[in-house]
Amino acid sequence: MRRRSGIAALLALVLLAGCGSAPSNEAAPPVARRAPSGLDLVTLTIEGHGRSHAFTVEVARSAAEQEQGLMNRRSLGPDAGMLFPFAPPRPASFWMRNTLIPLDMIFIRPDGVIARIAANTVPMSETPIVVAEPMTAVLELAGGRAAQLGIREGDRVSWED
């Protein structure tokens, strides 16, 4: 009698194990990547003159996030940065108040082309760095990084957002 109940229990377990849902062919929705700052992270690529380089950048979307920017940061990785998107495009003016490290500011036109690079900006300076034509975004990288990688005005910037 025991043997039959043991077999019945084993058979019940096998049947229950097979009752799970079948794997779905639907792709899971992408998981938003977040920086320790709480900002979204996106992959951004700069291409030009036969080369391409990818960065992982934080996106400062709101006015408050853009005002804070990279203030009070003590370091920035070589392939990290911060993107300041503008919708609609507008002239851009930045300064380095409370920014402790030198930055390269890359001003991006609506067509994705780099209009200007303000290289190695001076930490803590309140002198405005201005581009009068409408920009779709400004990218900040560690100071000197654009020159190290050969990034120049006229190169193209793209990102998935």
* Selection from 65, 124, 74 nearest residue 99 by Cα: 124
Residue-level pLDDT at 115:
98
Q: What is the pLDDT of residue 145?
A: 98
pLDDT at 76: 97
pLDDT at 52: 98
Backbone dihedral angles phi then psi of residue 17, each to the nearest 5 degrees: -65, -35
Answer whether 0.85 is exceeded by the pTM: no
- In this prediction, residue 161 carries a pLDDT of 80
User: Reduced to 3 states, what is the DSSP secondary structure of residue 113?
Assistant: strand
**Which CATH number does 33-159 carry?**
2.60.120.1140
Strand ranges for 9-118 from DSSP E: 40-48, 51-59, 80-94, 103-108, 114-118
pLDDT of residue 26: 59
- Mean pLDDT, the chain cut into blocks of 10 residues (161 residues total): 44 42 51 88 97 98 96 97 98 97 98 98 98 98 98 97 80
Confirm if 79 and 55 have CB atoms less than 8 A apart. Answer: yes
pLDDT on residue 28: 53
Give percent helix, percent strand, percent coil of the chain, each to the nearest 5: 15, 40, 45
